[in-house]
Amino acid sequence: MQRATFLSLLLLAPLALVAGCGSEDSSSVTLYCGVDQDQSRSIAKQFTQATSVAVDYHGETEAMRSVGLPKRLMGERQRPRADVYWSNEIMHMVHLCKSGVMAPLPKGLAEDFPKAWRDPNGRYIAFGARARVFLVNKELLPDPQDWPSKVEDLLDPKYAAMGFATSMAEPLTGTTYTHAVALLTRDEPGAKAFFERMAAAREKGTMKVVSSNGRVMRAVSDSAEKVCFGLTDTDDSYIALTEKNPNLVLVYPDDGEAGLGTLLIPNTAALVKGGPHPAEAERLLRWLVSASVEETLAASRSAQIPLREGVPTPDEKRMRWRPGTDFRAMEVDWQAVGENADRWRDWLTRVFKPVD
């Protein structure tokens, strides 16, 4: 951690507070966290080691990722139990902010981040992002001219004619659902037609619509599966790349002046309105969104892409680390996406019945 940040955390004194129906332990803070526990728990422990403030950590399972904790926070609005929410899905954070669950940010905290990633309403911080990318099997597609360049290429019949399938996770949960809502918010008729064609391709067997991004990664990695490329996240793709599979390459879709750009889905963190430990909550929030934590996330197995300049990144040349420099990021009205978080859920569920 940077020395200045470390010292500033040590100098912030704990403050005893009373909330709800009884006295709370002022040396602790409650964190609701939707980020993979193998990454986020260690960061919470580092905070405790540096500040002596214990973190009451509440995670969620893979099956409930980005769904369980937002519902819990909504249900606890009248009597909040959490102090800080750390989410890996910005859409749900925006929805919670609009619903009045999250508190205003401390003054001066957001100014360290690019304007494109600041919450216009001053409720959350966006940092360390995953990109929605194509993982391509070069053994099956050795000619770069055959590689996909845009999301619609998932449905290009030329791949079926070559004897291959493409793949994507069902757009019902996680980042794939967020991606679907972003596309539907931008162009509802076009996106609906795309997803209906995708469901038809699944029925034909020309596209494997599976249950998770991890399964997309594994299908593409195994040439015997005959899946020439799939749309997944950089965190799942990075796992495959670091296994030294020379047959894999990342392609950033819609990259270029004519394309929409590659979708980035950042982590977000915010204070829970009315949380029982506001002083400790602010200390934890400042820790989570620090440059040192963003560097830690970049160096982790999830390979989170820093959103602010100057944060060191791993020496992995097959990843593109700098949005706006290494690749073009998709412009997204996250406020509108958050408002539409549940708008098309039933429609997508009808089109895509969950798969095993």
Three-state secondary-structure class, residue 103: coil
User: Token digits for 193?
Assistant: 């037609």
Q: Specify whether the CB–CB gap between 176 and 133 falls below 8 A.
A: no
Domain ranges of the chain: 3-128+265-319, 130-263+338-351
User: Token digits for 213?
Assistant: 């991004």
Alpha helices, H only, the chain? 3-11, 37-51, 68-75, 90-98, 157-161, 174-186, 188-204, 213-221, 234-242, 278-288, 291-299, 334-339, 345-351
Query: Which helix (H) or strand (E) is 129 found in, with range?
Result: strand 125-137
| pLDDT higher than threshold 80 for residue 261 | yes
Amino acid type, 288: L
| pLDDT higher than threshold 70 for residue 313 | yes
| Angle, vertex CA 81, rays to CA 80 and CA 82, nearest 5 | 100
Of 21-35, 127-141, 172-186, 289-303, the range with the lowest mean pLDDT is 21-35
Tell me the pLDDT band of 27, cut-offs 50, 70 and 90: confident
| pLDDT higher than threshold 50 for residue 1 | no
- Enter the DSSP assignment of 12: S
Note the CATH number of domain 130-263+338-351: 3.40.190.10
Could you report the per-residue pLDDT of 135-149, keeping only the tens digit for each? 999 999 999 999 999
Average pLDDT over residues 9-14: 35
* pLDDT of res. 139: 97
Q: Which fold has domain 3-128+265-319?
A: D-Maltodextrin-Binding Protein; domain 2 (3.40.190)
| pLDDT higher than threshold 80 for residue 65 | no
Tell me the pLDDT band of 14, cut-offs 50, 70 and 90: very low
Euclidean distance between CA atoms 186 and 179, whole angstroms: 11
* pLDDT of res. 174: 87
Three-state secondary-structure class, residue 151: helix
Could you report the per-residue pLDDT of 191-236, keeping only the tens digit for each? 999 999 999 999 999 999 999 999 999 999 999 999 999 999 999 9
Tell me the pLDDT band of 262, cut-offs 50, 70 and 90: very high
* pLDDT of res. 6: 35
Tell me the pLDDT band of 62, cut-offs 50, 70 and 90: low
DSSP string, 174-193: HHHHHHHHHHHHH-HHHHHH
Q: Specify whether the CB–CB gap between 137 and 221 falls below 8 A.
A: yes
Euclidean distance between CA atoms 71 and 66, whole angstroms: 9
User: Token digits for 5?
Assistant: 């940040």
Question: Is 130-263+338-351 in the same CATH topology as 3-128+265-319?
Answer: yes
